[in-house]
Amino acid sequence: MHWQLHIASQPFRSIFILPGKPAQLAVSETRQKIRFYDLVSGVHYLDMELDLKLLDHDSPEERREALNQLKAPNGMFLPVVEFQDRRVHTTMDGSLRLIQGAGLILEIDDQTLPLDISPEPTVVAVDLDRDLGTIAALTDDHVLYVYQQQTRINTILLEDDLPVRVFIKAGGNEIVLVYPEKICLLDMKGRIVCQRDLHYTIGPVVLSPAGNWLAVADADYQLIRLYNQELVPVRQQHAVDLITTARQLQLFTNIPAPAAPISALDITDSGVLAFGMAGVLCVAQVEMLTELPQTRPLL
């Protein structure tokens, strides 16, 4: 599985790999339109136009019904959908939604429940365990809140600089914090399990659902760097190399300039990687990235 397709004239806002039969890709370069492709073949299914004012509808029933339609052609709910000033995170079965604005609102079993975050700070990063409904929310006053659905189970004060991304592993047992200069793995009590210093400018970052892979775009050299569960760097490759060697789904295509930024990416636990670069969508497998030498214990 290794193909590329030039589909846009501008960088992508998001790329999501959606499991199912068949597995599909949801790709968007604007908030208003999402395109769906077959993950294996790259065949285009359809485009979805979004009502960016959907969350402002007066009728809760109409809004809830419209949100229930935000599915891929294979029937899977979209993980995250951007509206005008809010984002909606949805579990795999669609039974729980987290609405992210300045604060957080949980919708579950037809109930609307504001999460108990102090009213002063602003939520800057959120992740949702799509299986169990565990939530990690980071505020701009350096506090990390952890919820099991609507119940707050921990509050962690972070002493370092403010992270730029937060991820929670499926099963809700560990959290990954991405800082400009390092990556930290925490247990659910906030204790550091391991950390890795970074010596490059980070671009888009994504954690596979169970945390098997952390994919980081190196914004200095347009490399895709892969880390394992212990945050050890294990593979890397220039994004343009993956595009150049991929099967072209069009007769004529433009190869991005090597310095073009990586704009979005996603990765599965099994190692299927999808990324966007200058309007080109590329799907590859982790085995196609160069393996990095690892230190070995002395005998």
* pLDDT (mean) for 70-89: 94
**Measured distance CA(258)–CA(244) in Å, rounded:** 10
The full set of domain ranges for the chain reads 3-291
Nearest to 107 by CA among 123, 122, 86: 86
Least confident of 94-103, 206-215, 271-280: 94-103
The answer to whether residue 107 scores a pLDDT higher than 80 is yes
**Measured distance CA(100)–CA(273) in Å, rounded:** 27
**Please, are residues 243 and 277 in contact by the beta-carbon 8 Å criterion?**
yes
How many other C-beta atoms lie within 10 A of the C-beta of residue 228? 14
User: For position 122, what pLDDT does the model report?
Assistant: 87
**Measured distance CA(261)–CA(259) in Å, rounded:** 6
Find how far residue 245's CA is from the centre of its chain: 25
**Measured distance CA(191)–CA(143) in Å, rounded:** 14
Question: pTM (2 decimals)?
Answer: 0.93
**Measured distance CA(80)–CA(200) in Å, rounded:** 28
CA dihedral 266, 271, 276, 282 (to 10 degrees): -150
Average pLDDT, the chain: 92
| Secondary structure (3-state) at 59 | coil
- Residues 131-187: tens digit of each pLDDT: 999 999 999 999 999 999 999 999 999 987 899 999 999 887 899 999 999 999 999
Nearest to 131 by CA among 80, 169, 74, 75: 169
End-to-end CA distance of the chain: 39
The answer to whether residue 119 scores a pLDDT higher than 70 is no
CATH number of 3-291: 2.130.10.10
